[in-house]
Amino acid sequence: MSKDQLVVVAGGGGFIGGHLVADLRRQGFTRIRSVDIKPFDEWYQCFDDVENLQLDLMDQDNCHTACKGAGEVYQLAADMGGMGFIETHKAECMLSVLINTHMLVAARDAGIGKYFYSSSACVYNADKQTSEDVVALKEADAYPAQPEDGYGWEKLFSERMCRHFREDFKLHTRVARYHNVYGPHGTWEGGREKAPAAMCRKVIEAKLSGDHAIEIWGDGKQTRSFMYIDDCLKGTQMILHSDCLEPLNLGSNELVTINQLVDIVEDIAGIKLDRKYNLDAPKGVNGRNSDNDLIQERLGWAPSIRLRDGMEKTYNWIYDEYMKKYKGKLGPRAAAPKGAHVRDKELSVELGG
């Protein structure tokens, strides 16, 4: 694709979108439009040489504005978060269907060249994720449908809509199913953070406060794989430009328990903490891993960044952010003020994944 064609990143103020905009700039794209509902000062990454628009993409007119003149569109905007958010905000997650519907219609009407949709591993059938000792999920495991309630149903429906826009309206749509993406410049507090960022924050808090205990949701034996943002960016762009018509897994296949994730963060921080397990907290499926045979076969590539390496970068970034925000308030046993981690209402639109 020519570097002066207009590329639109919907959800550009969030975690993955912000990194994607940065990456497109690095590659020399000269016309980038980044769109997000959040005020600019809340964007994780915001660049002066990019056309930044603050728009609510649940509104159809705004989607037409967002897509106008575009060559390629990356649709990453969604109301979402980690388990603590999606298990308790099912209707809000499902309302992202408005964004996905209006964006597809706008992309079709604008005659854009290529359209990317960020789906999620939450589309997979829950019956295949009941054991920690999970068999990695193949793309075919999305059907028969029994996805994550709320969030997963919306993702599966929107995937399906991409398929039919491709078949019926000849819109070039490509879909990736993201498996838990993490990295710097993402949500690390407020209620929407996923386990990697949450663990970094909790370990930092414990270390700085001198209260050497950590709360872990569930029994810590549940398993996941976590994909570092750089792998996500590479795979996203490869999938958009590929001939893979059906959704592809985009995730790491390095399976760990949540306890092992905490081990890694403790090791990075150089500390050992007393673990307290909260069995009433949101837990999601018992086990989830990405089967990467298909992406390897179709693209000759799969995510490969080691969890330890990605977590070190993530931890360092969160540490700096934590210090910037709470430094003045740190006493020997005081870290973030109580209640600082309840959901931030204003962060109402995050990124797909």
Q: Which parts of this chain interact with ligand GDD (CB under 6 A)? A: 80, 82-84, 86, 120-122, 151, 178-180, 193-195, 198, 216-218, 222, 224, 258, 281-284, 353
Give dist(CA 274, CA 256) in Å, integer.
20
Q: How far apart are CA 261 and CA 208, in angstroms?
A: 20
Query: Closest by alpha carbon to 178, among 258, 247, 85, 78?
Result: 247
Phi, psi of 113 (to 5 degrees): -75, -50
Q: Which is nearer to ligand GDD, 72 or 79 (CB)?
A: 79
Taking a C-beta distance cutoff of 8 angstroms, is the pair 73, 107 a contact? yes
Question: 160: helix, coil or strand?
Answer: helix
In angstroms, rounded to a whole number, what is the distance separating the alpha carbons of residues 78 and 344? 16
The nearest distance, CB 49 to ligand GDD, in angstroms, is 31
Task: Provide the token pair at 292.
Answer: 């990467």
Q: Would you say 38 or 224 has its CB closer to ligand GDD? A: 224
Q: Shortest approach of ligand GDD to residue 5 CB, angstroms?
A: 30
CB of 30 to ligand GDD, least distance (A): 33
Q: Closer to ligand GDD at the Cβ: 52 or 119?
A: 119
Residue 19 or 179 having the CB closest to ligand GDD: 179
User: b/e map of 221-248 (b: 16 or more CB within 10 Å)?
Assistant: ebbbbbbbbbbbbbbbbbbbeeebeebb
Q: Distance (Å, rounded) from C-alpha 34 to C-alpha 49?
A: 11
Please pick, among 151, 182, 228, 326, the residue that the annotation labels catalytic.
Answer: 151
Nearest distance, CB of residue 18 and ligand GDD, angstroms? 17
Taking the least distance from each CB to ligand GDD, the nearer of 6 and 227 is: 227
Could you tell me how far CA 256 lies from the centroid of its own chain?
18
With beta carbons less than 8 A apart as the criterion, state whether 148 and 86 touch: yes
Give the nearer residue to ligand GDD in terms of CB position, either 120 or 158.
120
Question: In angstroms, what is the minimal distance from the CB of 98 to ligand GDD?
Answer: 18
What is the smallest separation between the CB atom of 275 and ligand GDD, expressed in angstroms? 10
How far is the CA of 152 from the CAs of 45, 294, 326, in angstroms?
Answer: 27, 21, 35
Contact 19, 45 (CB under 8 A): yes
Chain residue at closest Cβ approach to ligand GDD: 82
d(CA 334, CA 208): 8
CB of 197 to ligand GDD, least distance (A): 8
151 is catalytic: yes
Q: Which residue number, 44 or 151, has a Cβ lying nearer to ligand GDD?
A: 151
Strands 227-228 and 114-120 turn out to be unpaired
**Active centre residues (catalytic):** 151
